[in-house]
Every structure is written in C-alpha cells, then in structure tokens.
Chain A
Amino acid sequence: MGIVSEGFGGRRRSRADLPPGQYLTQDFPVLSAGPTPHIRTEHWEFVVTSESGERYRWDWAGLMGLPAEEITKDIHCVTRWSKLETSWKGVSLDTLLADVETAADFAMAHSYGGYTTNLPMEDLLDGQAWIAYEYDGEPVDPEHGGPARLLVPHLYFWKSAKWVRGLVLSDSEDLGFWETAGYHEYGDPWKEQRYAGD
C-alpha cells in the first residue's frame, strides 16, 4: 500500500459503469410532465387487466401483505443523468402476475394523473420489475412517484412509471405518453435507445 491515502473513494464506481451519453448525479432530480397526484394509501389500488378483460385488483393492504424485496439498482434517465445503487423496497411483478392468466406479450402501465408507458411483458418478469413503495428506507415521496411507482431499472427511467395504478396487458404493442411523442418504444440505456429510430 502506498503512503498516499486513496481517500474516501473506496466504493466510488467509475464512469465505465455508466451507459453511453450519461453523467453521474448524486441527487435525485424530479421530472414531471404534470401536477403531482397525492394518492392516500386508503384510496390506492393497483389493477392488472388481462387481454381477455379479466381484472386482478390489489389495495394497499393487499400489496403490503405480499412478500417484499430490497432492491439496489442503478437508474438512468433519458435526460442523461444516472444515479448508482439506489435502494428500494417493493413487490416483484413476478409475485403480482403469478396468478394472472395471460399470454400477452405487451403491457401498458397506467398512472394516477394519466401517464402511460408501454413495456414488453418479458421485461416485467424474471426479477426485472417491481412495484416500489420505499426509497432509501422511507415511503416514496409523491414527487418521486409515491405511494407506489413502477421500477424497471434496466430501461430508461421514464418506463418506471410514477404513481402507477395498473397494467393493461395486450397481444399487440401500443405506445405510451413519451413513446407517442418521439421517444423510443423500448428504451435500453446501454444501446442508447433514446428516440424513435435509435
């Protein structure tokens, strides 16, 4: 070991961890395309509607009764900031979708306030997506999507719909709020799929 201390950089991760075109931020920017809904948990619900029209509904107590997971993931916003090792608690969509009878290939996430975003079903399963209700050990702030937001950290963060209230499953792919306005239908940050056609 050299005589010059390496300082407090021991856990610091390198720029090589970032997808192309991203910069590292330590804070947590708030992006919003509309007013922040304040949903009281006693009025909150999450509804999955299958391609046959069958509805599967959870209220807040039902969500809290499901097995929760601690999740630590890097997140990448299409506006070019990335935040490493963010800590969340939530319920895996594997758990929520386990008893949903579906062969759908696509899902549209719907949020309180009207936001939508489209995702392939295969990106919501196999430990890749959660309904997150805690961030850094505290309830998710409304400005960050509380009481519960979708968390799909391997895609650009616009796919992690704030204030999520349900999924509509479908055999065909529709486009969501930003995807109909020029953003990429899939949004893989490592392939820099920011805009339609990327």
Chain B
Amino acid sequence: MKSEASDATHLDGNAAAGALSALFAVDITSAIARCSGCGQTGVFADTRLYVDAPGLVARCAGCDGVLMRVVTTPTDTYVDLRGLTYLKVPNE
C-alpha cells in the first residue's frame, strides 16, 4: 500500500503550553520526550500538535505516532501518555 501524508494542519508542541500548564506543575513543552514507537527523543515543543480535533493530539515528528492525547470534558480531563516512553524534566 502506498500512501503519502500531507500535513498543513498541525502546530508545534509549544501550542500545548496553556492546556498542559493546568495539568502539570512544570512546563512540559520544554521537557525531553521519548517516542515509544520509534524512539525519537527531543524537546516536547518539537512535536506536531493537532488541535482542530475533539481533543488535543501530539504526534512524534519522526514517525507520526501519537505521543499524547488530552480530552477536556465539562467535569474531567483525560490525559493519555501511552505514546511516550518518558518525559524528562529537570529537577530545578
């Protein structure tokens, strides 16, 4: 199967700063993220962020795999981090 993906719709991971600041005590966009799919490791701000969707979806810039999903309902916020092996955050 041959396919190509075009992609003018995503933002960079910095655009997640506002939504994530409500969830985490540190700035996740400057954290180092490792993709559990391809192993690409880099600053979260370099991920591809899709916001024109029912939730916020961050994808790996290397393999397009889903790194993180955030869905905000009227009562709760769902955070799915299955696509991340880790987030590395400095202690200070």
Chain A interfacial positions (CB closer than 8 Å to B): 29-40, 43, 45, 78-79, 112-114, 142, 158, 178, 180-183, 194-196
Contacts and interface: CB of A to CB of B under 8 A. Distances in A.
Contacts of B52: 29-32
A40 B4 CA distance: 9
Interface in B48-81: 48, 50, 52-55, 57, 59, 64, 66, 69, 71, 73-74, 76, 78, 80
Nearest to B53: A33
A79 B54 contact: yes
Given A31-B52, A33-B50, A79-B54, A38 B71 contact: no
A34 to B, nearest CB: 6
A139 B55 CA distance: 28
Nearest to A32: B9
Contact of B71 (A112, A113, A183): A183
A191 B92 CA distance: 48
Given A30-B52, A33-B55, A181 B2 contact: no
**A-B pairs, 10 with minimum CB distance:** A35-B5, A182-B78, A35-B7, A182-B71, A195-B73, A33-B53, A33-B57, A181-B71, A38-B4, A181-B69
8 contacts: A35-B7, A35-B59, A36-B7, A37-B5, A40-B3, A114-B66, A182-B55, A182-B78
A112 B3 contact: yes
A114 B65 CA distance: 9
Contacts of B80: 180-181
B10 A35 contact: yes
A43 B1 contact: yes
A39 B5 CA distance: 9
A112 B7 CA distance: 15
A37 B10 CA distance: 14
Contacts of B48: 35
B56 to A, nearest CB: 9
B6 to A, nearest CB: 5
A24 to B, nearest CB: 19
